[in-house]
Amino acid sequence: MKNKEHSQGIGAAGRVAALASSIMDLHVRIALKEVSRERRRLISGGIFLAMGGVLMLFTLLALEIVIIIWMQNSFNLNIELALLIVALVDMILAGISLRLGGYLTKGPYLPETIEGLSKSTKAVFGKPQ
């Protein structure tokens, strides 16, 4: 009796896995249709996001120049020392950001999760599996 119950449990797990796989395939097919339909909107959005990122970088650069000029005028520092201070502050903030980002993205990923993500990514980008 126990073998029969055990085999029924395995059969049910197989059906659930097949259902999950079918749902994932459906999700990928729908995502591919959306990407092909909305390609122009997605490309335009990507261009505007990239342009916003570049402009934000230029804004940060201009702000750092203003800070260096302010440091020179307020504290009577020469340009080399002011640049060194700003570079050190930038390096410290970059290190904290990288450390925090690495901590947040690190985690125990199940092999099934990694496999599903790689299949979805390959399907969305049109790479053969």
CA 68 – CA 62 distance, rounded (Å):
10
Question: Residue 18: its pLDDT value, please?
Answer: 75
Q: Do residues 83 and 77 make contact, with C-beta atoms less than 8 angstroms apart?
A: no
Q: Do residues 85 and 69 make contact, with C-beta atoms less than 8 angstroms apart?
A: no
Question: Residue 7: its pLDDT value, please?
Answer: 55
Of 17, 28, 34, which Cα lies nearest the Cα of 119? Answer: 28
CA 63 – CA 66 distance, rounded (Å):
5
Question: Residue 86: its pLDDT value, please?
Answer: 96
pTM over the 0.75 mark? no
Question: Residue 111: its pLDDT value, please?
Answer: 78
Question: Residue 2: its pLDDT value, please?
Answer: 53
CA 90 – CA 84 distance, rounded (Å):
10
Across 95-113, average pLDDT: 82
Helices (H), 38-129: 39-75, 79-105, 111-125
Question: Residue 65: its pLDDT value, please?
Answer: 96
Handedness of CA 5, 7, 13, 16 (dihedral sign): negative
Q: Do residues 12 and 108 make contact, with C-beta atoms less than 8 angstroms apart?
A: no
- Which residue is it, tokens 């969305």? 124
Q: In this structure, which amino acid lies at residue 40?
A: R
